[in-house]
Amino acid sequence: MQRTYTITQEKIDRYGVLNGDRDIIHYDLDYAKKRGFQGTLAHGLMVQGYANDVALAMYGEDWLTRGAIKVKFVAPVYPDEDYVVEIKPDGELTATGPRGVAMAGTATLRPVN
Amino acid sequence: MRPSDVKPREGEVRGTRFEEYIIHDPLPEMRFTLTPEVIREYAVSIDADPDRPFALPSVLCVYLMAVLYRKYPPAQGGIMAANEFEFHRTLPADVPTAIVANGRIEAKFEKRGRQYIQYSVTFRSEEDGSLIATAVNTSTFPNEQAKAA
């Protein structure tokens, strides 16, 4: 199962307001470029949030009580780009943007006790 | 209760230096109430359906860093490297849920010139102590900024 998400600075800002996050790497383009990035960075947990919603669609309400998600953030996620969040039948999880995979891991159900 | 109500924010105080993190140090208990408003706002913020009768369990992500930052304030420029969550209990979307979060520093290490902090968090119901979710987060904070602070 997969969905495509368009990242925007407005979405990054909105998540930051909720998250209580004031880290300038998400908002200050000059600072982000000084750190070697092409743009401001999306919040990692925002991108992981997309994957959680895809997992809910894939596994149904079992995800609420047996869900297990494990990710590594392997490349930056920038505004004004599209990212495809995909969970394969075996639980392999990726978020892939214009430069390749940005987040990789697994989204699976724990066994029933 | 919004995350900003319980979370020290970047730039408010000096960021924690790498050498100041203590492995296996318990993080102070954090109590908060997850409200229908935050559940809905979170769903909107990740392009999810805000009208479900239950919370997307990853809503707890917006409180995760606060557990660490309340004892170890962050330096500006932090980057998340990895994250794990396991969900155990459904959170209703229409009523508040009082939650108790506990955590501890699990590890710190250097890799390719970056310094990483790993910590774990357990979220439980304040009402009955039942397990809601567990998390393990790994983040890196800039060396130069932490040393210069």
Please check whether residue B20 is in contact with residue B83, taking contact to mean a CB–CB distance below 8 angstroms: no
pLDDT in tens, B46-82: 999 999 999 999 999 999 999 999 999 988 888 899 9
Extract the residue ranges of chain A whose pLDDT is less than 70: none
Q: What are the structural domains, with CATH classification, of chain B?
A: 24-148 (3.10.129.10)
Task: Compare B6 and A107 and report the one with higher pLDDT.
Answer: A107
Which of A19, A37, A33, A106 lies closest to A75, judged by CA?
A: A37
Q: What is the pLDDT of residues A22-50, one digit of tens each?
A: 888 898 999 999 989 999 999 999 999 99
pLDDT confidence bin for B133, thresholds 50/70/90: very high
Task: Round to whole Å and give the CA distance between B84 and B139.
Answer: 12
Could you tell me the domains of chain A? 2-109 (3.10.129.10)
Mean of per-residue pLDDT scores for chain B: 91
Q: CB under 8 Å to B133, separation ≥6 — which residues?
A: B57, B60, B85, B86, B87, B88, B89, B122, B123
Q: Which two tokens stand for residue A108?
A: 């699976």
What is the band of B4 on the pLDDT scale with cuts at 50, 70, 90? confident
Chain B residue with the nearest C-alpha to that of A5? B47
Nearest alpha carbon to residue B71 among B34, B136, B117: B117
Cβ-Cβ contacts under 8 Å, B81 against chain A: 72-73
> Which residues of chain B lie closer than 8 angstroms to A52, CB-CB?
46, 56-58, 85
Mark which residues 57-116 of B lie under 8 Å from A by CB.
Answer: 57-58, 61-62, 64-66, 74, 76-91
pLDDT tens digit string along B91-119?
999 999 999 999 999 999 999 889 999 99
